[in-house]
Amino acid sequence: MSIHIPVQADDNLPVLLVYDSENVYYNGSKKIDSVQRMLTADGLKVKTVMLENYRSGELSDNKYRGVVTLINWQEADLSNDNFTHDRAKFSGTKLHIGPNLQDDELEGLRAKKGMIIRQQLTLSDNGITEQIPYTNRMEYLVDVADSDKYGVLNTQNVGNQKTLPYGVKVDNNAFLPFWNTSGLAVNCEEKLIADLFNAKTDSRPLLVINNVTPTSNLEYLDKLVDDLYRNNVPFAVSATNVEGNTNQFAYKKYMYSLRMIELKNGIVFMRVPYLYSYTGKEINAQNLKATMSERLQLMVRSGVYPTGLSTPNHWNQDAVLGKVGLKSASNVLLLPDPKTYPKVKQTDYSQEFDKAYYVMSLKDLDKAKTTVSLTKANNLNYTLPTALNIKMPRTLSELRKVEKSVSGSELNWENPAAEDNSREMNFAKMKLEYHAGTYFVNGNEQNINDTAPVQKKHKHKEYQETGLNLILSYQGKFLTVFILVTLIGFVLLIYKGRKVYWDKFKRK
């Protein structure tokens, strides 16, 4: 039996993520997306490869600092001997997610494996317990000694209850029996990944209003912002800009709403363009650069200074979108991918950022089946930069629900204005910087103001009282009076007739 002594990996090297299948039928792509985003949130460069596409010799100590194996389709029992062989020789950090643990992995974890079948589980951490969806089949570690544990799983078999670790780390080897994209498991997953790769101190979540666009109901947006400001809740918005119709009053009103956000302890992330809006225009580096540059300059000219970019994860897995669209920002909001999206020049590699937020829904967090609501657990911090997302309300009912959800939360929110680090955007010849609540453009401090857009002037057409107009006017009034008098007459006749009819039957 060969024993591999761990070596100190180069922190600048990427991590290799190998998954067996997208498992589209069971929406398995969400897990791949989630793992990618969390690794990026830990400040890692990632190369993602499907198991069947792995080539012999790819995984080596001089090319990667770690490897993550994600088993996404347990029933298929897919394998690749070249990958198994190379991983056994690899001395860097190893994380296995899901079933099908191999002998070399168990050796590194210094444990044996067991199996539970058809069980209802609970996950506990930080004094909170969450009910996990029914588990059909799950591998777990047996006889694990000298390990770090992240969360506790309990089976609910009466008389035969098992208590198992959720996450396990032994030296630079780690194991998670499954991966959840939200809920209490995320806190455990973040702690484990940070301990494995780039250790970080606990951080507070950032509240984000998502889907803000020029066509949003700005009255609802303003009310929500006022409510957050009144309750001393710092926040951010993911705001889409456009390059057309910018002289319209509606656009100026939109920019005014974004300026008010900056004045009320909020920051703005510019949302990358929706690619489906490129109707009749080729999506290439030149067009994309021109579009994003123009949108950013329009915002700056309107007194709005984005502090970063908001982007679906697939942009960071694309050579054109990532290199041209994202490299300008030091910090990004990594949104979950939509179900479908156009691919420009997909690549295996993703880039790193000074700060990348793992974004998940505040609503999903609130819906988790836990003993204590995860939105009321003020002792629950996140290890990696995490943003909790609320959708821009479209109706008054949605606005009330969002306000109630945020006001009912007891989370300690991140306050970007209180940070020591700067947030930067560099595009073309423009450098935007946000530090301790102050905005700079090319090194010059900017004065944020609340100047409202000039109101539209309504032109009233003069009404000429011609003879015909007077006749039609009087005719309409006469008809209205005639109809009312006729109806009253009918009512009186009916009443009188009914009285005469009943009088016939009365005894005289």
Q: What is the tens place of the pLDDT at every residue in 432-452? A: 999 999 999 999 999 887 777
Q: 71 is written with which tokens?
A: 């088993």
Angle value at C-alpha 339, between 393 and 271, nearest 5 degrees:
50
How far is 58 from 84, CA to CA, in rounded Å? 12
How far is 315 from 273, CA to CA, in rounded Å? 11
SS3 at position 69: strand
pLDDT higher at 150 or 486: 150
Q: Examine the pLDDT at 508 and tell me if it is beyond 60.
A: no
Q: Examine the pLDDT at 2 and tell me if it is beyond 50.
A: no
Q: Which residues contact 123 (CB under 8 A, 6 or more apart)?
A: 129, 130, 132, 151, 152, 153, 166, 183, 184, 185, 188
Residue with the two structure tokens 């990632």: 46
Element (H, E) at 222: helix 218-230
pLDDT-derived band at 281, boundaries 50, 70, 90: low
How far is 317 from 40, CA to CA, in rounded Å? 11
How far is 12 from 34, CA to CA, in rounded Å? 22
Q: 265 is written with which tokens?
A: 């302890």
- Phi, psi (rounded to 5 degrees) for 476: -65, -40
SS3 at position 450: coil
Q: Examine the pLDDT at 502 and tell me if it is beyond 60.
A: yes
CA dihedral 255, 440, 205, 414 (to 10 degrees): -110
Q: What is the tens place of the pLDDT at every residue in 31-90? A: 999 999 999 999 999 999 999 999 999 999 999 999 999 999 988 889 999 999 999 999
Q: Examine the pLDDT at 463 and tell me if it is beyond 60.
A: no
Domain ranges of the chain: 15-112+167-196, 206-445
How far is 355 from 332, CA to CA, in rounded Å? 7
Angle value at C-alpha 314, between 332 and 354, nearest 5 degrees:
25
Q: Contact at 8 Å (CB) between 375 and 410?
A: yes
How far is 193 from 182, CA to CA, in rounded Å? 15
Residue 506's pLDDT is what? 61
Full strand arrangement of the beta sheet holding 438-441: 423-427, 430-435, 438-441, 444-445
How far is 458 from 249, CA to CA, in rounded Å? 12
Residue 277's pLDDT is what? 60
Q: Examine the pLDDT at 461 and tell me if it is beyond 50.
A: no
Q: Contact at 8 Å (CB) between 299 and 270?
A: yes
Q: What is the tens place of the pLDDT at every residue in 174-225? A: 999 999 999 999 999 999 999 999 888 778 999 999 999 999 999 999 999 9
Q: Contact at 8 Å (CB) between 214 and 251?
A: yes
Taking residues 474-495, report their average pLDDT: 78
Q: Contact at 8 Å (CB) between 416 and 239?
A: no
Fold assignment, 206-445: TIM Barrel (3.20.20)
Q: 451 is written with which tokens?
A: 């100047």
Q: Contact at 8 Å (CB) between 413 and 406?
A: no
Residue 452's pLDDT is what? 73
How far is 129 from 106, CA to CA, in rounded Å? 28
Domain 15-112+167-196 has CATH 2.60.120: no
Residue 9's pLDDT is what? 52
How far is 357 from 306, CA to CA, in rounded Å? 16
Q: Examine the pLDDT at 455 and tell me if it is beyond 70.
A: no
pLDDT-derived band at 4, boundaries 50, 70, 90: very low
Sign of the CA dihedral with 426 first, then 244, 212, and 349 last: negative
For the chain, the first-to-last Cα distance in angstroms comes to 122
Q: Tell me, rounded to whole angstroms, the distance of Cα 229 from its chain centroid.
A: 22
pLDDT-derived band at 278, boundaries 50, 70, 90: low
Taking residues 233-238, report their average pLDDT: 97
Q: What is the tens place of the pLDDT at every residue in 290-308? A: 889 999 999 999 999 999 9
Q: Which residues pair with 235 in a beta bridge?
A: 266
How far is 298 from 129, CA to CA, in rounded Å? 48
Residues comprising the chain, all counted: 508
Pairing type for strands 148-155 and 163-170 reads antiparallel
Residue 151's pLDDT is what? 94
How far is 333 from 416, CA to CA, in rounded Å? 14
Q: Record the pTM.
A: 0.85
Q: Examine the pLDDT at 373 and tell me if it is beyond 50.
A: yes
CA dihedral 308, 310, 316, 317 (to 10 degrees): -170
Q: Which of 168-172, 173-177, 299-303, 467-471 has the lowest mean pLDDT?
A: 467-471
Pairing type for strands 128-142 and 266-271 reads unpaired
Q: Which residues pair with 112 in a beta bridge?
A: 142
Residue 454's pLDDT is what? 65
- Answer whether 15-112+167-196 and 206-445 agree in fold: no
